[in-house]
């Protein structure tokens, strides 16, 4: 099974929110701090694998270094872009959360739910969840977490 990988930086509040969310649902992940653990070509390949818009999904063209160097993604070869990211990891949007089929860039409370494990999704689908019934959801979540603890 492919482990969820989250690419982060220490000062990123969205990264902290995403990790807190993953921890809440006891979802295992591997964290890679892009400033202290050098990125590899494989890391970038994993990100691009599920990116609908390629590099546009993962690179912040508004970043200082992009502006300073006056770069245009369209004018760069794929290998040049990969090397540029490896040398300048701060150009990546953060956090970047990936697994074998999914990519989530940034923290979005709704979109991050794609990483909810199948068993929990099945349990949630079996309840009527509405704004008035959110304690039902909390009960299901508690039941799910108890199941996980029992397996551990």
Which CATH number goes with the domain that contains 105? 3.40.30.10
What pLDDT shows up at residue 108?
A: 94
**Given 12, 85, 97, 98, the catalytic residue:** 12
pLDDT, one tens digit per residue, over 22-43 is 999 889 999 999 999 999 999 9
Domain that holds residue 9: 4-116
Domain identity same for 147 and 86: no
Residue position matching structure tokens 């508004």: 62
Domain identity same for 62 and 110: yes
Domain identity same for 75 and 130: no
Among this protein's residues, is 15 annotated catalytic? no
Domain identity same for 99 and 121: no
Mean pLDDT of the chain: 89
Task: Report the distance separating Cα 37 and Cα 86, nearest Å.
Answer: 11
pTM for the whole thing?
0.84
Helix (H, G, I), strand (E, B), or coil: what is residue 29? strand
Domain count, the chain: 2
Domain identity same for 55 and 130: no
Cβ distance 48 to 86 under 8 Å? no
Section 48-71 average pLDDT: 88
Token digits of residue 78: 């794929």
Token digits of residue 133: 């019934």
Task: Report the distance separating Cα 19 and Cα 69, nearest Å.
Answer: 32
Peptide bond into 95 cis (omega under 30): yes
Domain identity same for 26 and 91: yes
Residue 5 host element (H or E): strand 4-8
Domain identity same for 23 and 65: yes
pLDDT, one tens digit per residue, over 72-129 is 888 888 999 999 999 999 999 999 999 989 999 999 988 998 998 888 888 888 876 5
């Amino acid at each position: 099974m492919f482990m969820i990988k989250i690419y982060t930086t220490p000062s990123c509040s969205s990264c902290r929110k995403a990790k807190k969310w993953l921890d809440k649902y006891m979802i295992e992940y591997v964290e890679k701090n892009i400033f202290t653990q050098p990125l590899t070509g494989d890391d970038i390949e994993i990100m691009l694998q599920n990116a609908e818009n390629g590099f546009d999904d993962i690179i912040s063209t508004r970043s200082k270094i992009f502006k300073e160097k006056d770069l245009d993604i369209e004018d760069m070869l794929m290998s040049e872009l990969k090397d540029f990211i490896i040398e300048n990891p701060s150009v990546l949007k953060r956090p970047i959360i990936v697994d074998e089929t999914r990519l989530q860039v940034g923290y979005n409370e709704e979109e991050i739910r794609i990483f909810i494990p199948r068993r929990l999704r099945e349990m949630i689908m079996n309840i009527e969840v509405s704004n008035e019934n959110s304690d039902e959801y909390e009960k299901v979540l508690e039941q799910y977490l108890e199941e996980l603890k029992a397996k551990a």
